Protein backbone atom coordinates (compact mmCIF):
# COMPACT_ATOMS: atom_id res chain seq x y z
CA UNK A 1 0.00 0.00 0.00
CA UNK A 2 1.32 3.49 -0.78
CA UNK A 3 0.83 6.66 1.27
CA UNK A 4 -1.78 7.78 -1.29
CA UNK A 5 -4.01 4.80 -0.62
CA UNK A 6 -6.65 5.30 2.04
CA UNK A 7 -7.16 2.74 4.76
CA UNK A 8 -10.90 2.10 4.50
CA UNK A 9 -13.02 0.76 7.32
CA UNK A 10 -14.31 -2.77 6.94
CA UNK A 11 -18.09 -2.97 6.77
CA UNK A 12 -18.59 -6.71 6.80
CA UNK A 13 -17.09 -9.56 8.79
CA UNK A 14 -17.42 -13.17 7.70
CA UNK A 15 -17.06 -15.24 10.86
CA UNK A 16 -16.34 -18.84 9.89
CA UNK A 17 -17.24 -20.41 13.21
CA UNK A 18 -16.40 -23.96 12.15
CA UNK A 19 -15.52 -25.96 9.08
CA UNK A 20 -17.67 -28.90 10.27
CA UNK A 21 -20.66 -29.52 8.00
CA UNK A 22 -23.16 -32.37 7.56
CA UNK A 23 -23.59 -31.76 3.82
CA UNK A 24 -21.19 -32.88 1.12
CA UNK A 25 -21.72 -30.27 -1.62
CA UNK A 26 -19.38 -30.83 -4.57
CA UNK A 27 -19.03 -27.04 -5.00
CA UNK A 28 -17.81 -26.31 -1.47
CA UNK A 29 -15.52 -23.28 -1.61
CA UNK A 30 -13.91 -23.91 1.76
CA UNK A 31 -10.19 -24.73 1.68
CA UNK A 32 -8.98 -28.25 0.96
CA UNK A 33 -7.37 -28.46 4.40
CA UNK A 34 -10.14 -27.88 6.93
CA UNK A 35 -9.57 -26.62 10.47
CA UNK A 36 -10.27 -29.22 13.13
CA UNK A 37 -12.77 -28.85 15.94
CA UNK A 38 -9.96 -28.80 18.52
CA UNK A 39 -8.47 -25.67 16.95
CA UNK A 40 -11.70 -23.66 16.87
CA UNK A 41 -11.83 -20.34 18.74
CA UNK A 42 -13.72 -20.46 22.01
CA UNK A 43 -16.86 -18.49 22.85
CA UNK A 44 -15.08 -15.76 24.83
CA UNK A 45 -12.64 -15.04 22.00
CA UNK A 46 -15.46 -14.75 19.47
CA UNK A 47 -17.27 -12.38 21.85
CA UNK A 48 -14.16 -10.19 22.10
CA UNK A 49 -13.75 -10.26 18.31
CA UNK A 50 -17.34 -9.06 17.86
CA UNK A 51 -16.68 -6.07 20.13
CA UNK A 52 -13.44 -5.27 18.34
CA UNK A 53 -15.15 -5.56 14.95
CA UNK A 54 -17.86 -3.11 15.95
CA UNK A 55 -15.23 -0.67 17.27
CA UNK A 56 -13.40 -0.94 13.95
CA UNK A 57 -16.51 0.11 12.01
CA UNK A 58 -17.94 -3.25 10.97
CA UNK A 59 -21.72 -3.05 10.58
CA UNK A 60 -22.65 -6.61 9.66
CA UNK A 61 -21.44 -10.00 10.76
CA UNK A 62 -22.15 -13.10 8.72
CA UNK A 63 -22.11 -16.16 10.98
CA UNK A 64 -20.97 -18.89 8.68
CA UNK A 65 -18.99 -22.12 8.31
CA UNK A 66 -19.08 -25.00 7.44
CA UNK A 67 -22.38 -25.23 9.20
CA UNK A 68 -22.42 -22.70 12.06
CA UNK A 69 -25.12 -24.72 13.84
CA UNK A 70 -22.44 -27.36 14.49
CA UNK A 71 -21.28 -24.96 17.25
CA UNK A 72 -23.22 -25.53 20.46
CA UNK A 73 -22.44 -21.96 21.55
CA UNK A 74 -23.97 -20.35 18.44
CA UNK A 75 -26.60 -18.51 20.50
CA UNK A 76 -23.93 -17.05 22.83
CA UNK A 77 -21.83 -15.88 19.88
CA UNK A 78 -24.93 -14.38 18.23
CA UNK A 79 -25.82 -12.59 21.45
CA UNK A 80 -22.29 -11.20 21.72
CA UNK A 81 -22.48 -9.84 18.17
CA UNK A 82 -25.92 -8.37 18.82
CA UNK A 83 -24.81 -6.69 22.04
CA UNK A 84 -21.79 -5.26 20.22
CA UNK A 85 -24.26 -3.50 17.93
CA UNK A 86 -23.68 -5.61 14.82
CA UNK A 87 -26.38 -6.63 12.35
CA UNK A 88 -26.33 -10.42 12.49
CA UNK A 89 -26.85 -12.69 9.51
CA UNK A 90 -26.77 -16.47 9.84
CA UNK A 91 -25.62 -18.37 6.74
CA UNK A 92 -26.84 -21.91 7.21
CA UNK A 93 -27.49 -25.15 5.39
CA UNK A 94 -30.47 -25.56 7.71
CA UNK A 95 -29.42 -29.07 8.70
CA UNK A 96 -28.80 -29.45 12.42
CA UNK A 97 -30.80 -26.36 13.30
CA UNK A 98 -34.00 -27.37 15.08
CA UNK A 99 -36.99 -25.06 15.52
CA UNK A 100 -36.03 -24.67 19.19
CA UNK A 101 -32.51 -23.60 18.28
CA UNK A 102 -33.56 -21.07 15.65
CA UNK A 103 -35.98 -19.62 18.19
CA UNK A 104 -33.11 -19.35 20.70
CA UNK A 105 -31.04 -17.55 18.06
CA UNK A 106 -33.89 -15.14 17.44
CA UNK A 107 -34.09 -14.49 21.17
CA UNK A 108 -30.32 -13.90 21.18
CA UNK A 109 -30.76 -11.09 18.64
CA UNK A 110 -30.39 -12.75 15.25
CA UNK A 111 -31.60 -10.35 12.54
CA UNK A 112 -31.47 -12.26 9.28
CA UNK A 113 -31.13 -15.81 7.97
CA UNK A 114 -29.68 -16.93 4.69
CA UNK A 115 -30.49 -20.52 3.76
CA UNK A 116 -28.74 -22.25 0.91
CA UNK A 117 -30.99 -24.51 -1.16
CA UNK A 118 -29.47 -26.73 -3.82
CA UNK A 119 -32.34 -26.82 -6.31
CA UNK A 120 -36.01 -25.99 -6.78
CA UNK A 121 -37.01 -29.64 -6.59
CA UNK A 122 -36.38 -32.15 -3.82
CA UNK A 123 -34.74 -35.12 -5.49
CA UNK A 124 -32.15 -33.08 -7.31
CA UNK A 125 -31.56 -30.80 -4.30
CA UNK A 126 -30.80 -33.76 -2.01
CA UNK A 127 -28.60 -35.36 -4.66
CA UNK A 128 -26.51 -32.21 -5.05
CA UNK A 129 -26.23 -31.73 -1.28
CA UNK A 130 -25.28 -35.39 -0.83
CA UNK A 131 -27.78 -35.57 2.05
CA UNK A 132 -31.22 -37.17 1.95
CA UNK A 133 -33.86 -35.05 3.68
CA UNK A 134 -31.89 -31.79 3.46
CA UNK A 135 -34.45 -30.11 1.16
CA UNK A 136 -37.38 -30.87 3.47
CA UNK A 137 -35.49 -29.61 6.54
CA UNK A 138 -34.48 -26.38 4.79
CA UNK A 139 -38.09 -25.70 3.86
CA UNK A 140 -39.24 -26.26 7.46
CA UNK A 141 -36.53 -23.98 8.78
CA UNK A 142 -37.43 -21.24 6.29
CA UNK A 143 -41.04 -21.38 7.49
CA UNK A 144 -39.95 -21.07 11.12
CA UNK A 145 -37.66 -18.12 10.29
CA UNK A 146 -40.61 -16.27 8.76
CA UNK A 147 -42.96 -17.23 11.61
CA UNK A 148 -40.49 -15.59 13.97
CA UNK A 149 -40.49 -12.48 11.78
CA UNK A 150 -36.86 -12.57 10.68
CA UNK A 151 -35.92 -11.62 7.14
CA UNK A 152 -34.98 -14.50 4.87
CA UNK A 153 -32.65 -14.75 1.90
CA UNK A 154 -32.57 -17.92 -0.15
CA UNK A 155 -29.22 -18.68 -1.69
CA UNK A 156 -29.36 -20.88 -4.78
CA UNK A 157 -26.00 -22.12 -5.98
CA UNK A 158 -26.28 -22.60 -9.72
CA UNK A 159 -24.33 -24.92 -12.02
CA UNK A 160 -24.91 -27.16 -15.02
CA UNK A 161 -27.31 -29.57 -13.26
CA UNK A 162 -29.79 -26.96 -12.05
CA UNK A 163 -29.27 -23.83 -14.16
CA UNK A 164 -32.31 -24.69 -16.30
CA UNK A 165 -34.54 -24.54 -13.20
CA UNK A 166 -33.95 -20.94 -12.12
CA UNK A 167 -37.66 -20.22 -12.51
CA UNK A 168 -38.54 -23.06 -10.09
CA UNK A 169 -35.94 -21.75 -7.65
CA UNK A 170 -37.43 -18.26 -7.68
CA UNK A 171 -40.94 -19.73 -7.29
CA UNK A 172 -39.71 -21.67 -4.26
CA UNK A 173 -38.13 -18.56 -2.73
CA UNK A 174 -41.45 -16.71 -3.21
CA UNK A 175 -43.37 -19.59 -1.63
CA UNK A 176 -41.00 -19.45 1.35
CA UNK A 177 -41.70 -15.70 1.67
CA UNK A 178 -38.04 -14.77 1.20
CA UNK A 179 -37.36 -11.11 0.57
CA UNK A 180 -34.32 -11.87 -1.53
CA UNK A 181 -33.02 -14.72 -3.65
CA UNK A 182 -29.40 -14.91 -4.62
CA UNK A 183 -28.68 -16.81 -7.83
CA UNK A 184 -25.04 -17.56 -7.08
CA UNK A 185 -23.07 -19.31 -9.77
CA UNK A 186 -20.47 -21.75 -8.49
CA UNK A 187 -17.06 -20.18 -8.01
CA UNK A 188 -14.14 -22.47 -8.57
CA UNK A 189 -12.10 -22.28 -5.37
CA UNK A 190 -11.28 -24.93 -2.78
CA UNK A 191 -13.15 -28.18 -3.25
CA UNK A 192 -15.23 -26.82 -6.16
CA UNK A 193 -12.12 -26.76 -8.33
CA UNK A 194 -12.04 -30.59 -8.21
CA UNK A 195 -15.53 -30.72 -9.72
CA UNK A 196 -15.11 -27.89 -12.21
CA UNK A 197 -15.86 -29.85 -15.37
CA UNK A 198 -18.78 -31.68 -13.73
CA UNK A 199 -20.33 -28.37 -12.60
CA UNK A 200 -19.47 -26.03 -15.49
CA UNK A 201 -22.55 -24.78 -17.36
CA UNK A 202 -22.39 -24.35 -21.12
CA UNK A 203 -22.28 -20.87 -22.64
CA UNK A 204 -25.76 -21.44 -24.09
CA UNK A 205 -27.12 -22.30 -20.63
CA UNK A 206 -25.57 -19.15 -19.15
CA UNK A 207 -27.12 -17.01 -21.89
CA UNK A 208 -30.56 -18.56 -21.37
CA UNK A 209 -30.25 -18.08 -17.60
CA UNK A 210 -29.45 -14.42 -18.08
CA UNK A 211 -32.64 -13.92 -20.10
CA UNK A 212 -34.69 -15.90 -17.56
CA UNK A 213 -33.42 -13.77 -14.70
CA UNK A 214 -34.31 -10.55 -16.53
CA UNK A 215 -37.83 -11.83 -17.22
CA UNK A 216 -38.28 -13.02 -13.63
CA UNK A 217 -37.10 -9.68 -12.25
CA UNK A 218 -39.68 -7.87 -14.34
CA UNK A 219 -42.40 -10.37 -13.42
CA UNK A 220 -41.77 -10.25 -9.65
CA UNK A 221 -40.69 -6.64 -9.27
CA UNK A 222 -41.65 -5.38 -5.80
CA UNK A 223 -42.24 -8.92 -4.45
CA UNK A 224 -38.70 -10.26 -4.21
CA UNK A 225 -35.19 -9.01 -4.97
CA UNK A 226 -33.37 -11.31 -7.40
CA UNK A 227 -29.59 -10.98 -7.24
CA UNK A 228 -27.56 -12.58 -10.01
CA UNK A 229 -24.29 -11.89 -11.76
CA UNK A 230 -22.65 -13.44 -14.81
CA UNK A 231 -20.50 -16.40 -13.73
CA UNK A 232 -16.78 -15.69 -13.75
CA UNK A 233 -15.71 -18.00 -16.52
CA UNK A 234 -18.34 -16.61 -18.90
CA UNK A 235 -17.86 -12.92 -18.08
CA UNK A 236 -16.01 -10.23 -20.06
CA UNK A 237 -14.62 -8.52 -16.98
CA UNK A 238 -13.89 -9.94 -13.53
CA UNK A 239 -15.91 -9.28 -10.41
CA UNK A 240 -14.54 -6.66 -7.99
CA UNK A 241 -13.79 -9.46 -5.56
CA UNK A 242 -14.99 -8.41 -2.09
CA UNK A 243 -14.98 -4.79 -3.20
CA UNK A 244 -11.18 -4.82 -3.24
CA UNK A 245 -8.56 -6.62 -1.15
CA UNK A 246 -8.42 -5.35 2.45
CA UNK A 247 -10.87 -2.61 1.60
CA UNK A 248 -14.37 -3.43 2.84
CA UNK A 249 -14.43 -6.80 4.50
CA UNK A 250 -12.52 -9.36 6.47
CA UNK A 251 -12.81 -13.02 7.17
CA UNK A 252 -11.91 -14.92 10.32
CA UNK A 253 -11.37 -18.63 9.95
CA UNK A 254 -12.39 -21.16 12.63
CA UNK A 255 -8.99 -21.14 14.32
CA UNK A 256 -8.73 -17.34 14.38
CA UNK A 257 -6.55 -16.48 11.40
CA UNK A 258 -7.79 -13.28 9.80
CA UNK A 259 -7.93 -13.41 6.02
CA UNK A 260 -8.73 -10.75 3.44
CA UNK A 261 -11.02 -13.32 1.76
CA UNK A 262 -12.08 -16.90 2.45
CA UNK A 263 -9.71 -18.35 -0.16
CA UNK A 264 -6.63 -16.22 0.59
CA UNK A 265 -4.63 -19.09 2.05
CA UNK A 266 -4.18 -20.59 -1.43
CA UNK A 267 -1.72 -17.78 -2.17
CA UNK A 268 1.72 -18.84 -0.99
CA UNK A 269 3.93 -16.52 1.02
CA UNK A 270 1.22 -14.39 2.65
CA UNK A 271 1.58 -13.82 6.38
CA UNK A 272 -1.75 -14.00 8.23
CA UNK A 273 -2.16 -12.85 11.80
CA UNK A 274 -4.49 -14.39 14.35
CA UNK A 275 -6.99 -12.84 16.74
CA UNK A 276 -5.39 -15.04 19.39
CA UNK A 277 -2.30 -12.78 19.32
CA UNK A 278 -3.43 -9.46 17.83
CA UNK A 279 -6.30 -7.01 18.16
CA UNK A 280 -8.51 -6.86 15.08
CA UNK A 281 -7.70 -3.19 14.38
CA UNK A 282 -3.98 -4.00 14.41
CA UNK A 283 -4.52 -6.88 11.99
CA UNK A 284 -6.66 -4.78 9.65
CA UNK A 285 -4.07 -2.01 9.44
CA UNK A 286 -0.80 -3.87 9.74
CA UNK A 287 -1.00 -7.59 8.97
CA UNK A 288 1.25 -8.26 5.95
CA UNK A 289 -1.46 -10.32 4.18
CA UNK A 290 -3.88 -7.38 4.27
CA UNK A 291 -1.33 -4.99 2.81
CA UNK A 292 -0.14 -7.35 0.07
CA UNK A 293 -2.75 -6.26 -2.50
CA UNK A 294 -4.23 -3.08 -1.07
CA UNK A 295 -4.52 -0.12 -3.40
CA UNK A 296 -3.15 -0.36 -6.93
CA UNK A 297 0.65 -0.17 -6.55
CA UNK A 298 1.04 -3.96 -6.80
CA UNK A 299 -0.68 -4.18 -10.19
CA UNK A 300 0.92 -5.34 -13.40
CA UNK A 301 -0.16 -4.40 -16.91
CA UNK A 302 -2.78 -4.34 -18.28
CA UNK A 303 -4.43 -3.51 -14.91
CA UNK A 304 -1.82 -0.90 -13.89
CA UNK A 305 -2.92 1.56 -16.57
CA UNK A 306 -6.51 0.41 -17.05
CA UNK A 307 -9.43 2.81 -16.58
CA UNK A 308 -11.37 0.10 -14.72
CA UNK A 309 -8.72 -0.59 -12.09
CA UNK A 310 -10.60 1.30 -9.35
CA UNK A 311 -13.84 -0.46 -10.29
CA UNK A 312 -12.84 -4.11 -10.30
CA UNK A 313 -9.44 -3.88 -8.57
CA UNK A 314 -7.93 -6.24 -11.14
CA UNK A 315 -10.42 -8.98 -10.27
CA UNK A 316 -9.80 -11.78 -7.83
CA UNK A 317 -6.27 -12.40 -6.48
CA UNK A 318 -7.03 -16.00 -5.55
CA UNK A 319 -8.42 -16.80 -8.97
CA UNK A 320 -5.46 -15.08 -10.63
CA UNK A 321 -3.13 -17.31 -8.61
CA UNK A 322 -5.13 -20.51 -9.13
CA UNK A 323 -5.25 -20.04 -12.89
CA UNK A 324 -1.86 -18.47 -13.61
CA UNK A 325 0.38 -19.24 -10.63
CA UNK A 326 0.92 -15.48 -10.15
CA UNK A 327 -1.26 -13.69 -7.60
CA UNK A 328 -0.30 -10.28 -9.08
CA UNK A 329 -1.49 -11.17 -12.55
CA UNK A 330 -4.63 -9.72 -14.08
CA UNK A 331 -7.50 -12.09 -13.26
CA UNK A 332 -7.66 -14.10 -16.52
CA UNK A 333 -11.45 -13.85 -16.45
CA UNK A 334 -10.79 -10.35 -17.87
CA UNK A 335 -10.85 -10.30 -21.66
CA UNK A 336 -7.91 -7.85 -21.56
CA UNK A 337 -5.72 -10.43 -19.82
CA UNK A 338 -3.11 -12.06 -22.06
CA UNK A 339 -4.20 -15.38 -20.48
CA UNK A 340 -7.92 -14.95 -21.12
CA UNK A 341 -8.07 -17.72 -23.72
CA UNK A 342 -7.25 -20.18 -20.93
CA UNK A 343 -10.54 -19.27 -19.20
CA UNK A 344 -12.48 -19.52 -22.46
CA UNK A 345 -11.04 -22.99 -22.99
CA UNK A 346 -11.83 -24.12 -19.43
CA UNK A 347 -15.40 -22.81 -19.73
CA UNK A 348 -15.89 -25.10 -22.71
CA UNK A 349 -14.91 -28.25 -20.78
CA UNK A 350 -17.88 -30.19 -19.40
CA UNK A 351 -17.86 -33.80 -18.32
CA UNK A 352 -20.47 -36.07 -16.76
CA UNK A 353 -18.21 -37.67 -14.17
CA UNK A 354 -19.96 -38.31 -10.83
CA UNK A 355 -19.51 -35.56 -8.26
CA UNK A 356 -16.61 -35.82 -5.88
CA UNK A 357 -18.61 -35.07 -2.71
CA UNK A 358 -17.08 -33.33 0.24
CA UNK A 359 -18.09 -35.65 3.04
CA UNK A 360 -16.27 -35.20 6.31
CA UNK A 361 -15.63 -38.15 8.56
CA UNK A 362 -17.06 -36.57 11.71
CA UNK A 363 -19.40 -33.84 10.59
CA UNK A 364 -20.98 -32.95 13.90
FE1 LIG B 1 -10.02 -4.89 -14.54
FE2 LIG B 1 -7.41 -5.28 -14.92
FE3 LIG B 1 -9.16 -6.16 -16.70
FE4 LIG B 1 -8.73 -3.53 -16.43
S5 LIG B 1 -7.27 -5.05 -17.14
S6 LIG B 1 -10.73 -4.52 -16.66
S7 LIG B 1 -8.39 -3.38 -14.20
S8 LIG B 1 -8.95 -6.86 -14.56
FE1 LIG C 1 -9.63 -14.21 -2.65
FE2 LIG C 1 -11.20 -13.22 -4.62
S3 LIG C 1 -11.51 -15.03 -3.39
S4 LIG C 1 -9.48 -12.28 -3.69
pLDDT, tens digit (0-9, with 9 covering 90-100), for 39-97: 999 999 999 999 999 999 999 999 998 899 999 999 999 999 999 999 999 999 998 89
Task: For the chain, list residues with pLDDT below 50.
Answer: 3-4, 362-364
Query: What global pTM score does this model have?
Result: 0.92
**Model pLDDT, residue 25:** 86
Indicate whether residue 151 lines ligand 1 (CB < 6 A): no
Predicted confidence at residue 2, as pLDDT, reads 55
Taking CA atoms only, the protein residue closest to ligand 2 atom 1 is 318
- Give me the pLDDT at residue 358, please: 84
> Does the Cβ of 266 fall within 6 Å of ligand 2?
no
Ligand 2 centroid distance, CA of 136 (Å): 33
Helix axes 203-219, 166-175, angle to 10 degrees: 30
Going by CA atoms, what residue is nearest to atom 2 of ligand 1? Answer: 303
Nearest Cα residue to atom 6 of ligand 1: 308
Any ligand 2 atom below 6 A from CB of 322: no
Q: What is the pLDDT of residue 31?
A: 82
* Residue 89 and residue 113 in contact, taking contact as beta carbons nearer than 8 Å: yes
Centroid of ligand 2 to alpha carbon of 318 (angstroms): 5
Task: Ligand 2, residue 317: give the atom nearest the CA.
Answer: 4
Residues 6+ apart with CB under 8 A from 207: none
Among all bound ligands, the one having the nearest atom to the CA of 301 is 1
Q: Give me the pLDDT at residue 3, please.
A: 47
pLDDT score recorded for residue 33: 84
The answer to whether the CB of 113 falls within 8 A of the CB of 145 is yes
Start-to-end CA span in the chain (Å): 41
CA distance 208 to 118: 19
pLDDT for residue 23: 84
Mean of per-residue pLDDT scores for the chain: 93
pLDDT tens profile 138-168: 999 999 999 999 999 999 999 999 999 999 9
**Is the bond preceding residue 66 a cis peptide, omega within 30 degrees?**
yes
Ligand 2, atom 2: closest residue by C-alpha:
316
How many CA atoms does the CB half-sphere of 261 hold within 13 Å? 24
Q: Is the CB of 25 under 6 A from ligand 1?
A: no
Q: Which helix (DSSP H) or strand (DSSP E) does residue 312 occupy? A: helix 309-312
Amino acid sequence: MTAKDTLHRPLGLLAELTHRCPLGCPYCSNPLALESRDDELDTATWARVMREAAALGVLQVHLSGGEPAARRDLAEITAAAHHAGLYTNLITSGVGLTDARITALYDAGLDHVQISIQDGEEKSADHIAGYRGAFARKNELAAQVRRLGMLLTVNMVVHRANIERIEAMVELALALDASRVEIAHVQYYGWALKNRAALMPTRAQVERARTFVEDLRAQHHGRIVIDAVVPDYHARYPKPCLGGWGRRSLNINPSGRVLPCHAAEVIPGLEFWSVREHALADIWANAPAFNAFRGTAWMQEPCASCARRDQDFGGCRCQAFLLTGDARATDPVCELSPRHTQVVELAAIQDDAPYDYRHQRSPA
